[in-house]
Every structure is written in structure tokens, then in C-alpha cells.
Chains A and B, each alone.
Chain A
Amino acid sequence: MDDPYVTLGLAKTATAEEIKKAYRKLIKASHPDLNPDDAGAEARFKAISAAHDLLKDSATRARFDAGEIDATGAERPDRRYYRDYAEAPGNAYQRGGGFEAAGDPADIFAEMLRQRGRSGARGYGSPYGDEGFSAAGQDFHYTLEVPFLDAVRGAKTRITLPEGGDLEVQIPTGSSDGRTLRLRGKGGAGLGGGHAGDAYVTLTVRPHRLFRREGDDVLIELPITLDEAVLGGKVAVPTIDGAVNLSIPKGVSSGRVLRLRGRGVKRPGAEAGDQLVELRIVLPPTVDEKLSDFLQDWRKTNRHDPRKDMFEGVAT
């Protein structure tokens, strides 16, 4: 690292007040969150902060001046900046909910202007100011834990509000973990005729005992018997919409994945996902004599080695 005095543009004789002043001036121009478009801001901010960390404390500064510690002594751990999150979808601090479903560009601009109108007065839009005549209500934020099936199939549910009362929430079909729903006008009441605020509900999806989700596909493991594996057959499989008959081909092994087309998550406007069924052969709890006798016999004439390829290139 560079000399902290050089980084802050100071002489070795700088006073504590001068250090503070220099630091303040530099971070104004280099704090990544105050300069979101400046790609070099983070590196500069780190260097400036490290230099300041070293010099702001008179004891540490004295040790540095005496050569007891070097300039790297003040490295900071990596940190994520607010600007990294600020434009992400679902950022609850954003003003206005972005573009709603509207195909016509004219509608989009009308929506932008509508949001600007509702977020406050005369285009300055700050509910913190003293506009005095009307202000939109406060936005509320909630979390909601949703059972897996309610999230994939969609459901109506109610959340109990900490301030009393409850709120009906329509969970859209195919909602995934972390999705934030916006309930327009369900936030705090507006002032002086202003719009009510919105309620934002972030979903956490509770895992299911049987089903897992990968994109719009639903994964499930299906135990089958030895005879089903050898002879094939039809077995009932649970899907997110109820039991479905699945044909097991003859002679399948554990790990074979069968696809039930269109039985996955059906998000509106997207092609339905599939259900993927991974087979797992399960032996009966007790292997009877008849079965073991048969296999003893069978083994004599059948020498199939599924591990044959495993030892290629491996010392045995």
C-alpha cells in the first residue's frame, strides 16, 4: 500500500483536524454509494479508508510514523456496497414499483409519471420534506413463509399484521423463494388525500418432504420394488397436482430418471415444467429363501459386472 499521507494528500505534519477534513473531501468523490457510476470509486475508497484508519487514531499514527507498523496494517475486510443492491429487482427502498405489465410505451411513461405524482409533491417527491398538503402513505414490508405446494400451485393466504388485523395475499402460481409481492394500497394511509402506501411481502418457501424444485421442473425420488425394476409396470407417483400413473420400463436401475412432461410448475405465460422422477430400487425388508435361492442359481450363469469400467487406469 502507498504512503497514507500521500493517499490523503497531506504533509507528515498534518493535524488531526486536517486529516479529517482531507478524508471527508476525498470520500465525497470516492465513496462508491455516493458515486454509483464511478467504476474506480471502490478501489479509491478502500485506499483512502485504509489510509484514514491508520492516521485517524493518534496512537496508531505515532506507531506508523515511528516505523513500528507499515501501511498495510489497516487493511479492511471486503464489503458489499449499497449500489450493488440498489437496482436489484425487489429492492424495497426503490420509489415506485418499476414498470407494470404494459405493452404500449405510452402506458409505460404514463405509469412513470403517475408514480412520480403519487410519491409526493411537485416532482420533488420527498415524503421527508414539508410539502404540507398531501403525501403518500408509508410502505410496509413483511415476510411470509409459504409451504412448497402453495408456492408452486399458487394460493390465497392471510398474514397477521404486527399492528393488528390481517391482510389477504394471493400467492401467484410458480412463486420462487425470495420473490417479493407488491400489494398496492395496502400500506399506511396517505396524508391529506395522498395515496395509501403499498405492502411488500417477501416469500420464503418452506422445503417439501418429497418435492424439490429446479427452475420450473419438480424433482422427486421414487422407490420401486425389485420386481417392478425387472419386469416394469405402472405405479402411482405423487405430483404437485395429485397422483399420476407412471410406466416403469422393464429392466431399470436405480438412478434412472423418468420425465412426466408438463407435470411441473405451471407459471402463467411460460411453458409448464416437467416432473423428473428418479427411481430407487428398494428390496423387501426381509429377503426370503425363495429369492436368495433363485439368485444363487442365477448367478452361476450370469456374470455381469457393473463395476468393470471403474478400475481402468486405477491401481488395483
Chain B
Amino acid sequence: MTDFLSELETLDAIPRLTQFRLTAFIEARIVVPLRADTGPVFRRIDLARIELLCDLAEEFELDEDALSVVMSLLDQLHTVRRDLRAIAAAVAAESPEVRARIGAALLDEG
């Protein structure tokens, strides 16, 4: 079954995360928990994201606005990486001639 943690369980799992900070993350929509009948629930990806946010908030003293900008850029980076990987996989499935042509075109671009 899918792993979902309640707000309390999330606070338990990340000791340095305070209720205050979590609320601020959610209000700034940098963390978007799922909505269940019982209240917000957090996935594993949310926990990893919160850990990263804690790192950035503590070590670089970023506030929610700065975190929003950083996370927005990071999310865009990951989306592009995923799309690029999908294209690379599609190219890899092509015949050697097609791959050679694409490779030559990329070299020209560079």
C-alpha cells in the first residue's frame, strides 16, 4: 500500500522540523501535501523535499520567498531532466543511422 504520513508522523520523522516551519512551507505552497478526509497527508517525496528545505532554510538562511524561487527552479530542472531522459531513451531505441544523424545534428548545434 502507498505510504502516507500524517502531519504528526511527519514532524516525528524529521526532528529538526517544527510545526511553525511546516505550516510556513505549506502556506507558501513549497510543500503540497495531499488532502485526505483526516487532514493533510505527506508522501515520501514530501519528506525528502522537507529535508532539503530544512537544509536550505538552516544553512543558507533562506526565507519562504527565497525558498519558493529555489524550489521552482529546481522543479523545472527536474522536469526538464525527466523530459530529456525520455527523449534520450526514444533516441536510443532508434536505428544506428538515425542515432548518427541526431548525433551529428547535436554536434552542429554545439
**Interface of A toward B, CB cutoff 8 Å:** 23-24, 27, 31, 33-34, 36, 79-88, 91-96, 98-99, 105, 112, 125-128, 138-143, 162, 177-178, 202, 204
Contacts and interface: CB of A to CB of B under 8 A. Distances in A.
A126 B69 contact: yes
Nearest to A200: B34
A94 B59 contact: no
Contacts of B65: 128
A98 B83 contact: yes
A110 to B, nearest CB: 13
Interface in B72-88: 72-79, 81-83, 85-86
A95 B32 CA distance: 14
Interface residues of B, number: 39
A93 B75 contact: yes
Contact of B1 (A31, A33, A79, A204): A204
Contacts of A93: 32, 45, 49, 71, 75, 78
29 contacts: A31-B52, A33-B52, A33-B55, A36-B77, A36-B78, A36-B81, A80-B44, A83-B78, A86-B45, A86-B74, A86-B82, A88-B45, A91-B45, A92-B32, A92-B45, A93-B32, A93-B45, A94-B75, A95-B75, A95-B79, A98-B82, A126-B69, A126-B73, A126-B76, A139-B32, A141-B33, A143-B41, A177-B1, A177-B2
Given A81-B48, A93-B75, A128-B72, A141 B83 contact: no
A147 B73 CA distance: 38
B68 interface: yes
B15 to A, nearest CB: 10
A298 to B, nearest CB: 47
Most buried by A among B32, B34, B59: B34
Most chain A beta-carbon contacts within 10 A, residue among B51, B75, B81: B75
Q: Mostly helix, strand, loop or mixed at chain B's interface?
A: helix
A284 B85 CA distance: 60
Q: Which secondary structure dominates where chain A touches chain B?
A: loop
A188 B6 CA distance: 24
- The CB with the most chain B CB atoms within 10 A, among A31, A86, A139, is that of A86
Contacts of A80: 44, 47-48, 51
A138 B49 contact: no
Given A82-B48, A85-B45, A142-B35, A91 B78 contact: yes
Q: Across chains A and B, which 10 residue pairs bring their CB atoms closest together, nearest first?
A: A86-B78, A85-B45, A87-B82, A178-B2, A82-B48, A143-B34, A82-B52, A128-B68, A94-B79, A95-B79
A94 B71 CA distance: 11
A217 to B, nearest CB: 19
Contacts of B36: 143
B78 A87 contact: yes
